[in-house]
Amino acid sequence: MNQSYYNGFNSRKRKQEYKTDLPVMITPEVKEPGSILSSLSAYIFKPWHGFVILFFCMVSSSIAFGVDDNAKSSIAEVLWRWMPLLLKGFIFNIVISICAMAIGTAAGAALGLGQISLNKWVRRVSWFITQFFRNSPWLVLLFFAMFLLPFEINIGGLAIPLPDWVKAIIGLSLPVMANVSEIVRGAVVSLPSGQWEAAESLAYTRRQTLWLIILPQCVKRMLPPWMNLYAILTMATVLASIVGVSEVMTLTGQALAAEGGRTDLLAPFYSFVLLIFFMYCYPIARWTVRLEKKFSVIG
């Protein structure tokens, strides 16, 4: 038995030497394979593998469908031809996401502050609005905005048109607003009450306490969840295709139709859309994780 010390059982044998009767000291056996697997995947699975897998999907599907019919132009060629239009569509998605985020953040910050107001009614109304929009499906809110908002508004004789994409921005900013409201409220509540007390005992007004002491400390806490929300919103902008806004999904559908509904194009085209979303959202996610780590250390 002692001979086996130098072979592959080495580490396992060593572990047994530490064996003990104390239940707290015994390492649960089941965990071992799991922990090895997770440590392996931590080493082996890198972000760029995502791209590899996506490209593999695109290429393999192209081969599967493309080989039998040489009369049609190759898939890569078709995709290349449509790419500028699709990218333009994607930029439109980005514009929608940025605008919805801006409106949602401004409105959500106000609503979040409303939730911590000293006035009972302001607090209740803000709470209700927040809960209502936070617990509604985004698509329903989008339809709501699409069909209930007029196509133009009259402000003092000036007619401001409300095209579909503006309505989509408003529709998407509603759930963003509710989520930002909760982020703000959560950050304020998470600060130690000693900060409020110290400010109070120094004769700061409530408004001063909030703006000079509480909120500046909250920004750090709010940033990671806020960025997370932005990534989710960006991915949700494709919902606008359902209500006819010509963003990247709509354009992909139109491009596929223009190519005569070739089934071999479906996978490459939608893979391409996935890829550009991935390339945009993944760095945001990584950055968020990094910020979270950084802030959790400093506290």
Partner 1 sequence: MNWDDSMPMVSIKDVHKAFGDLEVLKGVSMDIKKGEVVCIIGPSGSGKSTLIRCINALNDIQQGSILVEGQEVNDPNLDKLELRKKVGMVFQQYNLFPHKTALENVMMAPIRVLKQSKAEVEKTARALIKKVRLEGKEDSYPGELSGGQQQRVAIARSLAMNPDVMLFDEVTAALDPETVNEVLQTIKDLAEEGMTCILVTHEMNFAREVADHIYFTDRGVIVEHGSPTNFFDEAKDPRTKEFLSQIL
Binding site for partner 1 (CB under 8 A): 192, 194-195, 197-205, 208, 212-213, 216-217, 298-299
If the CB atoms of residues 119 and 208 are measured against partner 1, the closer one turns out to be 208
CB 146 within 8 A of CB 166: no
If the CB atoms of residues 217 and 228 are measured against partner 1, the closer one turns out to be 217
Element housing 205 (H / E)? none
Say what the alpha-carbon torsion angle 272, 273, 278, 281 is, to the nearest 10 degrees: 150
- Residue 193 beta carbon to partner 1: minimum distance, rounded to whole angstroms: 9
- Residue 211 beta carbon to partner 1: minimum distance, rounded to whole angstroms: 10
* Three-state DSSP string of 208-257: HHHHHHHHHHHHHHHHHHHHHHHHHHHHHHHHHHCCCCCCHHHHHHHHHH
- Residue 223 beta carbon to partner 1: minimum distance, rounded to whole angstroms: 14
If the CB atoms of residues 39 and 195 are measured against partner 1, the closer one turns out to be 195
CB contact burial 225-250 (16+ within 10 A = b; e otherwise)? bbbbbbbebbebbbbbbebebbbbbb
Task: Please give the Cα distance from 153 to 170 (Å, whole number).
Answer: 14
If the CB atoms of residues 8 and 194 are measured against partner 1, the closer one turns out to be 194
- Residue 207 beta carbon to partner 1: minimum distance, rounded to whole angstroms: 11
Residue in the structure block whose two tokens are 């209930």: 148
- Residue 189 beta carbon to partner 1: minimum distance, rounded to whole angstroms: 17
If the CB atoms of residues 168 and 199 are measured against partner 1, the closer one turns out to be 199
Q: Are strands 158-161 and 152-155 parallel, antiparallel or unpaired?
A: antiparallel
If the CB atoms of residues 152 and 197 are measured against partner 1, the closer one turns out to be 197
- Residue 216 beta carbon to partner 1: minimum distance, rounded to whole angstroms: 5
